[in-house]
Amino acid sequence: MSSMRARVFAPAKINLFLHVIGRRPDGYHLLQTAFRMLNHGDWIYLAVREDGEIRRMSELSGVAAESDLVVRAARLLQQKTGCRLGVDIALEKNLPMGGGLGGGSSDAASVLLALNRLWGINAERKMLQAWGLELGADVPFFIFGENAFAEGVGERLHALRLAPAWYVVIEPPVCVPTAEIFTAEDLTRDTEPLIIASFPDAPTRNDLQPVVCRKYPQVHSALTMLEAFGAARMSGSGACVFLACESEVEARAVLEKLPSGVKAWCAEGLDQHPLFDSVGPER
């Protein structure tokens, strides 16, 4: 066993908006969205192994080790680089599954970023992003490491400078399967594309929100709760909903006014991924 160990953060993301602007011949939807990272997320513990084994040291309810994105990310990096080192991975899970906060994708990205350094691979960011896309459409964003305007299936990224903000997030007690929402017959798929320069002043929405609210009343209920305090919106394909606030004081005041029993928290928007500097400058 090597002495190389790391404790790394996997931040949540929210989609400030999400427009479905078309569909590719292969069935994938063409999107425009703005991603923002939050300082609330999962923690991952890594311990490098000399024998090449990849082991998950913590249980994740309903997810077998072989299909867990943290294990798949480590295996992918081994396959792409021929690295003979392995790793023990333990996960402290704070982000809900099927919540629209990018939890699994963020975990995978943090594993790729951390092992890129711990295993001495030193692959460039663009290469890691391309590999990460094989694990999920949101993985490249977290490797990109900055808030971003995203296009395509979410892999074409442009860095965004966003004003400081805090967010109140409600986690409705439901897991929303992304595929179910994207295949819904009543999903809007022809929203007019935005010009990046027009964001954030142009009118935006989440095209998936009406479909999710119809199928999952718990999400509609959470939105209604937050809309009492301002313009609330659903993140990604749900289920979590959020409200932007100008300060921590304002966010905590909203949090205190929510009904007891509602699972909610507040977090500050991040400008950069905590592991951003783990990838060196492009050569």
Which residues are identified as catalytic? 13, 138
Q: Residue type at 10?
A: A
Distances in Å between the alpha carbon of 27 and those of 130, 179, 189, 212, 239?
20, 11, 12, 20, 23
Q: For residues 37 and 109, what is the distance between their CA atoms, to the nearest angstrom?
A: 13
Q: For residues 256 and 264, what is the distance between their CA atoms, to the nearest angstrom?
A: 10
Name the residue among 16, 32, 9 with its Cα closest to residue 241.
Answer: 16
Q: Residue type at 262?
A: V
Mapped to the 3 state alphabet, what secondary structure does 242-256 carry?
EEEECCHHHHHHHHH
Identify whether the C-beta of residue 241 lies closer than 8 Å to the C-beta of residue 222.
yes
Identify whether the C-beta of residue 169 lies closer than 8 Å to the C-beta of residue 14.
yes
